[in-house]
Structure 1
Amino acid sequence: MGLKERAIQKQFKEEKMDNLVIMKNQQAVTTSLQVAETFNKNHRDVLAAIDDLKEGVAENYADLFYEDSYIHPQNKQKYRQIIMNRDGFTLLAMGFTGQKALKFKLKYIEAFNQMEELLKTQSNLPMNNTELLLEAALKHERGLTLVNQRLDKLETETTINRSQQRKIQGLVSSTVIKVLGGKKTSAYKDSSIKQSAFSNCYKQLKALFDVASYIDIPKVRYEEALTLIPKWKPDLELQARIDMANGNGDMFKEVS
């Protein structure tokens, strides 16, 4: 039971309405046990009457009644009881006849009216300091969750910036030059081989990150790209061309 519900319940008791009607989940309700006590009936008979009603109002049963339990004060065991709202009580009480039953029905109706009126009144009152703090904390927590979700999405969707793009370009360039053997080698001076090497390096990079262009690499994977680029190796056909241009002979030649 929340703070506001406790306040309503306390005020209700102070108005001498006993426990005929209680506040549960922001709704005025009563219990099968309380009904049995008030109308001087066996609780099992009241439960049986509600179960019989269940067949006739199958689709609407959950709106009128729901299962609950209570602890017996003597043997401390748990027993079944049913919670019902005003409509559920009204439906059940139709079967209670006699002058005494009518008196209790009117008493219940008055109790329901007062509880619902208190609920309306309390709902319009400003919250106390504790409730205000709790409400503020909940709003803050919900706000942080939304912000974190947006940040996660932003990080996933945001691509590398211009500075990072230039860094990758420079790293690709230095890696390719190193694989070609340096700027003074024949492989580097051969524009066809050099172009193929750059193309091959960028092709592998795009495939690795599943992007159309290296500029589309997600910012959150930028550091990963910097780690992987220096590990680039050309495919066999390109490596053979590099070796031939640099006079390294046949790369498949067996070493004797």
Structure 2
Amino acid sequence: MDVQLFNFRDHQVRVVAAEDGEPCWVASDVAKVLGYRSAPEVSRFVRGRHKGIAILDTPGGKQQMTVLSEAGLYAAIMKSRAKAAEAFQDWVTDEVLPSIRRRGGYLTPAAAEEALTNPDFIIRLATDLKAERARRAELEAQAKLVAPKVLFADAVSASKTSILVGDLAKILRGNGIQVGANRLFAWLRSHGFLVSRKGTDWNMPTQRAMELGLFRVKETTVVHSDGHTSLSKTPKITGKGQEYFISRFLDGRFQIEEVA
């Protein structure tokens, strides 16, 4: 497999050509630049279709190594907290990618010779570079649009605080999903997360929702004016549940419009 070496500051970054000719970036090299602990850590933030495996020659022999597509690389950059992340992105877009022809083809010695002797080749190369820059700008714009939502969902997943359904509705509205508490309750009932049958368990989490760890039930003892007591039950959405619902509404897997 063709490998081209680039140097960013004190780090060597390997770029390989995938089967379709697109450039792919060795995840372990990207991890070192962007402050991730390892290739598996950086890969965790990249969707499956934007990463793969390449067999590369190393000092220890041939090894299978994780590689990231261009879109995967931008996702890793957006998720990085390293101070060098922005400079790395500028380096990639301003220096590295312009040296790679569209579809990831490298300017090999043979291609370089053709560029010197064939005017049509130079015109085609310039046209491809212009198209590549436009495609790259679109990928960067998409990554910037999605990154805040992904970061928010990841942060919520680690939360240990359970919230009310009404609070979840407020969070969704803050992220562009137009829904109120009553409508969200109706959606949760119609999709099997809350009990829809009228009775003492109405609006309580279903067994399925509890087994998934999406809800917990807060029980409160209420003392009435005549002295008798009763038990009040309130469904609350766990941190895992918040991540579950928010991520699915944001990426379109769940549609609130399904409820009238």
How high is the TM-score relative to the length of structure 1?
A: 0.32
Q: Where is the helix percentage greater, Structure 1 or Structure 2?
A: 1
Structure with higher RCO (Cα < 8 A, 6+ apart): 1
Larger radius of gyration: 1
How high is the TM-score relative to the length of structure 2?
A: 0.32
Q: Where is the strand percentage greater, Structure 1 or Structure 2?
A: 2
